[in-house]
Structure 1
Amino acid sequence: MNLQQLRYVVATAEHRTMTDAARSLYIAQPALSRAIRDLERELGMTLFARSGRGVVVTAQGRRVVKLAREALDAVREIEALATHSHTTGAELRIASTPSLEPGLAGRLLPAYVAEHPGIRVHIVRCDGRESVVSAVREQRADLGLTDLPVPTDLISHPLERQEIVLISPPGLDLPDPIPMNRLNGMRLVLPSPGSPRRKEFDQIFATYGVRPIPAIESDERARWLPAVRDGKASLLWYRGMAEQATRAGLVVRSLDPSVRKIIAIVHARKRLPAMAQDFLTLAEGGSAA
């Protein structure tokens, strides 16, 4: 048994499907299945029962998953002790979505680096909230910056409320701010149907009784602004993307009434390394909700 196998067990228990767990671990699904089978054979017990397309943790498996989490937490604490003893050259890893990264890099990072010049900060770029959650869960990041809500196995520290705006091609005859009812029948770039992001937008539309036209439905963020620039549709997204949109020649308008999402720093339920705790303290002290 080794630490890699313990990480595989924890990821499989959290994702409940071998496919999703393998994707989160950046390995092939057959390789994960073999590793789990080998561990079950070594331990002489069944950890996961196959159920349809997913897996269910067995009674024995729940105990193993609990101990595996504790073992991985212990390893992280040992690593944190080493990091605390050798601050120079240490690396703080922060996962962030593309739309929130400008605020992170423009405001928080310079202040943190000025106070902690011996620590290198690495931004783990994630394509959406779910990717940030996975990066934190899988220990690829010490902290995550994303909007809420996040799963309850993570701890969140709200920092601010960020406005959702309408990003449109130039030349549209629209007021600023734009009344919410003007979104009715408007062509929009939207996340894929059924995705958590899409469900949130659908809830907003239902609340205000509007029905936009889904012109493009995709979770590939790299396609969004080019589609707006080409005049195919408008886009609802965070104010943090406004500068990038303006540079691309697009028009940014507020909504009426205003819609805001809570932005937070998230981390696993464990003792944070000193450098991560210092960053959290700085962020909470300088945040404005």
Structure 2
Amino acid sequence: MNLQQLRYVVATAEHRTMTDAARSLYIAQPALSRAIRDLERELGMTLFARSGRGVVVTAHGRRVVKLAREALDAVHEIEALATNTPSSGSELRVASTPSLEPGLAGRLLPAYVAEHPDVRVHIVRCEGREAVVSAVREQRADLGLTDLPVPTDLVSHPVERQEIVLISPPGADLPNPVPLARLNGLRLVLPAPGSPRRREFDHIFATYGVRPIPAVETDERGGWLRAVRDGKASLLWYRGMADQAARTGLVVRSLDPQLKKIIAVVHARKRLTTVAQDFLTLAEGGSAA
């Protein structure tokens, strides 16, 4: 038995399907199923029973899940013992995605530094939500700023809802705002098929019954705006990218109805350092728009 298996058990109990649990943990579903089976064999008991397309927690499983949560909390408490005392020259590391960094650097950080001039703040630049999650898990960052959802082994504190807009080449024959129905047949820059971000977009398209044309499919974010500038397609992204896009001559339009994503500060399930808790308090009381 190891801590990873305990995290897998908790995630499976919370999501009630192996597929959703694996997705929240950013691992393959067969790997999760195998780890759960190995743990069940080791314990000599069944933790989850199949029910339709999902799973239900057995009586033994409920007890194990409760103890697993307590064990993970205890581990995080132990890890925090040496890091909970503020001192002069303390350091705070905040991981952020590129589209959220302008709000972080432009509003939250100046306000925080003004109140805590002795704290050295570093932005850990991450190419996407998965990289933010990894930075926090691997303790390369104390906190992360990203959109939801994140895996269940992290704690999230929503701080705002950010609008998704359509960024298009100049000359595109589109109204402002753009009815979501106009996305049907529209050429779009999209994340790679099968990626977590692409699945979220596909869910939005299915919800509103639209079928855009995937003109560019890549997870290389650096090329997204370049593809729009080259006239290849339009891009759905956050309002925070609007200024950067407009400076390069692109056109930013709202959608009708508006689409918004929840932005949150995330951290590991452990007691935060004082400097991290102070930043979280500021973020929850302000905005990272």
Per the normalisation by structure 1, the TM-score is 0.76
Shift in CA distance, 288/135, structure 1 to aligned 2, threshold 3 Å: closer
**Match of 1:243?**
243
**Match of 2:84?**
80
Task: Give deviations 1:69-110, integer Å, cap 9, x for gaps.
Answer: 8556523321333xx1x2x22110111111111111111000
**Match of 2:271?**
271
Q: How does 1:5-24 map to 2 (within 5 A)?
A: none
Once residues 30 and 202 of structure 2 are traced to their aligned partners in structure 1, the CA distance between those partners, rounded to angstroms, is 29
What is the number of residues matched between the two proteins? 244
Contact 2:95/2:143 (8 A) holds in 1:
yes
Contact 1:10/1:69 (8 A) holds in 2:
no
1:56 aligns to 2:35 (yes or no) = yes
Higher relative contact order (CA 8 A, sep 6+): 2
Shift in CA distance, 216/116, structure 1 to aligned 2, threshold 3 Å: same
TM superposition shift of 1:265: 0.7
Once residues 282 and 52 of structure 1 are traced to their aligned partners in structure 2, the CA distance between those partners, rounded to angstroms, is 41
Contact 1:187/1:233 (8 A) holds in 2:
yes
**Match of 1:93?**
93
Once residues 188 and 64 of structure 1 are traced to their aligned partners in structure 2, the CA distance between those partners, rounded to angstroms, is 44
TM superposition shift of 1:129: 1.1
Once residues 126 and 216 of structure 1 are traced to their aligned partners in structure 2, the CA distance between those partners, rounded to angstroms, is 22
**Match of 2:188?**
188
Identity %: 69
Aligned Cα root-mean-square deviation (Å): 2.7
**Match of 1:35?**
none
TM superposition shift of 1:14: 5.9
Task: Give deviations 1:155-188, integer Å, cap 9, x for gaps.
Answer: 1111111000000111112111011111111110
Gaps of 5+ in 1: 1-8, 17-23, 25-50
Once residues 208 and 72 of structure 1 are traced to their aligned partners in structure 2, the CA distance between those partners, rounded to angstroms, is 42
Shift in CA distance, 284/100, structure 1 to aligned 2, threshold 3 Å: same
Per the normalisation by structure 2, the TM-score is 0.76
SS in 1 for 2:91: strand
Task: Give deviations 1:212-244, integer Å, cap 9, x for gaps.
Answer: 000011111001001100101110000011111
Contact 1:191/1:217 (8 A) holds in 2:
yes
**Match of 2:148?**
148
